[in-house]
Chain A
């Protein structure tokens, strides 16, 4: 064991504060097994290289327990101060005269959160400091950006972020930079794929903006998907944008999200031709992804989602004045042709999974045949039932774990 192990925790804590003070541009934090790998010297509690701060694991437990207790002590002092303030109703200079305590509290909470971003009590303490205008909203966002470089999946950290954004809006009636929010979501989604919090946050920010920005995000995310074809979050995001545009275009106010219901349709930003282009492009795009990267569940899932969405809404489309233009975007028949082209594509169907996904997809499409308003005469009900039964028999063979599901499906379909 290293002799450095005897370092007093107080010294570690002071050193950390000093590092933050002397390096105001630190833009990434991380935990390392040994700092030696980064600066070539002996293993030390901290290392700073090119504005990146590394904590050595060897000292981390000791440091964290000290940070936490230090924070609790300061928090207790702060709470008694507040109580006093509430009791005697002295003027608010009481806080100004205790700027030293506040400074220390800001440091302690930052140190706790750099190591453990889930410490909800430390996050709450910072909210109290923001309310008292001792920390400003933008500074807090910057700190969170730094913390997310190490803790991108901190649910509490993301909730804190939402609180800052909301609190700022309540006070100023203005949004903090939405661009910073969209950027951090993208960055974090890249460090940690399938990051539920980041994508939920992205939509929560975006839905308050405008149709123009929806369209811009759709374009941006096309590129993202090409680089992350197995990350369903990206597809779900596209689904949200596309179906929101659908609701706006057809003036559907379903009460699911009041903010979306309030968005006004404008012919100048979203006309019939653009709407047609967006949706037909989407079908082509996902088909291309499926062909280029055979055997992935996410693109197939997405294909199923948008096809079913379209087919289940085809009654509504068929009754609208856009029927002629929009209805042909897809149909049960078209989807059957697509699946057959996949199964017969010898280049890719040797990926067994691709074939299985394709058949599975087709079975879902068959189930909505009665919602196909294109009036395709290529099918009659009997042929459809026969095809479906054949398909399910095949699927049962290739997915023996799901026999009960397929039996259930076939019973229901042929009834």
Chain B
């Protein structure tokens, strides 16, 4: 009893405070937990996990907490003879993990540690006649892969190697009547897919294809009375949409169409004040995926600017990295 009482009085109120140090601790300790089921069922997407964790630390100004050389060695161990990167050493290559690998390397200022030409070749070969992209040699098509291909090539300065017009045409075919986008032509609008399509179009200067009023309206309907956002009608709120919905709203310059104060409070409630980290919903167990989305959600809304660096909604990288690379970002007033 006494114990509980003491803890309660000493506890920081996470519903009003951003738990920066706890989040840093949470992320840096993630790799230690190799005996958990969660570790094993996400082992195949460790590259994405590394990107989420490392970018979060970068935004929190704590990148030095990671062992840079160890990460680079591990990334190199994930590159396959075809140029693509896998989600972990023992796995097959995929576009999704290839983007994460490049996003990590640019943040570590270490792109020179790889030969970028095979990576470019790998992506170029995955483009199809209709402009879409395969995720890997097995041929799944999804607008997520269009974004991933376009973004990776932008970071590598090789956008001219693909047929951009065709790529745009395919994304446009996935646009729906409600202004949103789906994974393939006909598929329902989904906030995650909207983020990838809007960002891909932004990267190739084709935001003119977005019906900003219709899409903005659909996106702001995603805010629920509890302040949180969902990704489709009548789904429950989840912190990951703080990234997908907000980044899209930022890119089309409509962030003021939702109540950011309410959303901030919702994300604060999803923090775990014991372990650190952010969960999908208040009271759930945190994970690195939602921790990244929570932190970058604050960043996009310009909250806690003294503790969180600014992230770009399209590149999904801190703007200091974008500036360093000398990349263009016409949608971002801060660059």
Contact = CB atoms under 8 A, between A and B. Distances in A.
Interface centre among A200, A401, A412 (most CB of B within 10 A): A401
A408 B255 CA distance: 13
Nearest to B169: A255
B43 A68 contact: yes
A402 B249 CA distance: 14
B140 A162 contact: yes
B294 interface: no
B90 A121 contact: yes
A64 interface: yes
Nearest to A158: B140
Interface centre among B86, B91, B136 (most CB of A within 10 A): B91
Interface residues of A, number: 50
A196 B188 contact: yes
B217 A233 contact: no
Interface string B180-220: 00111111101000000000000000000000010011001
B224 to A, nearest CB: 10
A72 interface: yes
B14 interface: no
A405 B220 contact: yes
B256 interface: yes
B44 A121 contact: yes
Contact of B177 (A119, A163, A230, A309): A309
Interface stretch (B146-154, B232-240, B302-310): B232-240
Given A255-B173, A296-B234, A401 B258 contact: yes
Interface in B163-186: 173, 177-178, 182-186
Contact of B188 (A119, A232, A256): A232
A328 B315 CA distance: 48
Interface in A273-298: 296-298
A104 interface: no
A359 B65 CA distance: 53
Given A61-B35, A119-B44, A163-B139, A72 B190 contact: no
Nearest to A194: B235
B177 A305 contact: yes
B24 to A, nearest CB: 27
Contact of A120 (B40, B87, B262): B87
Contacts of B256: 404
Interface centre among A118, A196, A240 (most CB of B within 10 A): A196
B94 interface: yes
B234 A405 contact: no
A138 to B, nearest CB: 19
Contacts, number: 107
B41 interface: yes
A233 B35 CA distance: 38
B214 to A, nearest CB: 10
B36 interface: yes
Interface in B85-135: 86-87, 90-92, 94, 135
- The B interface is mostly helix, strand or loop, or mixed, namely loop
A381 B86 CA distance: 60
Interface in A358-415: 401-402, 404-405, 408, 412
Interface in A83-120: 115-116, 118-120
A159 interface: yes
Contacts of A301: 233
Interface residues of B, number: 45
Given A120-B92, A196-B190, A401-B258, A232 B234 contact: yes
Contacts of A239: 177
Contacts of A162: 140
Contact of A298 (B40, B184, B234): B234
A256 B138 CA distance: 24
A338 interface: no
A405 B36 contact: no
B257 interface: yes
B257 A405 contact: yes
A65 interface: yes
Given A166-B139, A200-B182, A203-B186, A401 B173 contact: no
Nearest to A405: B257
Contacts of A214: none
B259 interface: yes
B184 A200 contact: yes
Contacts of B44: 116, 118-121
Nearest to B142: A159
A121 B91 contact: yes
A204 interface: yes
Contacts of B35: 61
Contact of A297 (B92, B138, B217, B234): B234
Interface in A216-272: 230-233, 236, 239-240, 243, 255-257
B8 to A, nearest CB: 30
Nearest to B188: A236
A5 B100 CA distance: 37
Contact of B138 (A163, A196, A200): A163
Nearest to A122: B44
A256 to B, nearest CB: 5
Nearest to A62: B35
B58 interface: no
List the 9 closest A-B pairs by CB distance, nearest first. Answer: A401-B259, A159-B140, A236-B188, A232-B233, A121-B91, A200-B187, A230-B234, A61-B37, A257-B185
8 contacts: A120-B87, A120-B92, A200-B182, A200-B183, A200-B187, A240-B186, A297-B234, A298-B234
